[in-house]
Amino acid sequence: MGHKSYFYLKQMALNVRQNWPTQTMTLLTVTLSVLIFSFFLLIYTNIIAAGERLGDDLRLIIYLQDEVVPELQPVLTKKITDYGEVEKVVFISRAQAFSRLEQQLASEKDVLDDLGPDFLPPSIEVYPKRNLKNLTHLKEFSDYLATLPGAEKVQYGQSWVERFGYFTELLRIIVILSGVLLILATVFMVSYTIRLTVVAKEAELEVLRLVGASNRYIQTPLLFEGTMQGILGSVLGTGLLFSIFKWTQLHLSGPGFLNLLDFTFFPASTTALIIGAATLLCVGGSLLSIRKYMRI
């Protein structure tokens, strides 16, 4: 095995040297594709994390005509939890609502003196579970809650939640598109490079066949070439993204957007996954070319 690897690596080095301008172009393409994809993925994952944090205070308030008698509360709770993923449901009586308002007004609670403790409507506070799916489906959930018996009006931070939902949806599409770009660019470029290598080595391949070289002897260096493009390109791409991330943290720190999002880089496992996937794509590109252009 030792000698075999030596010959495969030697042959691969020869291929790279013979065809270095195309090899460089391919490496750049793989690097850029990985960079673009992981850049949008990083933003997307951070936005989702931010959405979950912002969702801590998210609740839907159902204003009711009348107080809900304690016997009816489990029935309503079941109806609510049956529809969507809910963290908790809290019933607020008129008196509780009044007491809360008093606490909020603090020293200015005198303004409430002329109003009786029954002037505020009773309500139900619904705390949905914090995930993106729930965030983007709040409108439907709210519409459903409005149909509950006794419900007069449902309120939640509709405007920002909807915008946030659209934004994350847009990001999701961009991540998918950049993923497709990554797949197409790497597979195409690597398979094109291998094809050029095969064409440049036509005479050599003929002699190799005449001296009895096995398919494995001929193909393995080409597969090594694709693997090397994948590993180098993806390590460079993610490395570049990490450098951009660090630079941004250093220069754009302060009470800005990034701090609001509490931006973090990928965990090591995700980085390894990106590198592994890009490498696999490059190996796939090599295989494609080998099967297509080498009649062996």
- Binding-site ranges for another protein (CB under 8 A): 3-4, 6-7, 203-204, 206-215, 217, 296
> Could you tell me the smallest distance in angstroms from the CB atom of residue 10 to another protein?
8
Q: Which is nearer to another protein, 133 or 292 (CB)?
A: 292
> Could you tell me the smallest distance in angstroms from the CB atom of residue 284 to another protein?
25
Q: Which is nearer to another protein, 24 or 214 (CB)?
A: 214
Choose among 20, 8, 41, 22: nearest CA to 237: 41
Choose among 166, 126, 127, 130: nearest CA to 146: 126
Radius of gyration over alpha carbons of the chain, in Å? 30
Q: Which is nearer to another protein, 9 or 235 (CB)?
A: 9
Other beta carbons less than 10 A from residue 257's beta carbon: 10
> Could you tell me the smallest distance in angstroms from the CB atom of residue 292 to another protein?
18
Buried/exposed 190-225: b ≥16 CB within 10 Å, e otherwise: bbbbbbbbbeebeebbeebeeeeeeeeebbbbbbbb
> Could you tell me the smallest distance in angstroms from the CB atom of residue 207 to another protein?
5
CA angle 70, 75, 77 (to 5 degrees): 90
Q: Which is nearer to another protein, 55 or 221 (CB)?
A: 221
Inter-helix orientation angle 2-18/158-200, to 10°: 100
Q: Which is nearer to another protein, 1 or 268 (CB)?
A: 1
> Could you tell me the smallest distance in angstroms from the CB atom of residue 22 to another protein?
17
The residue to which tokens 């991330």 are assigned: 245
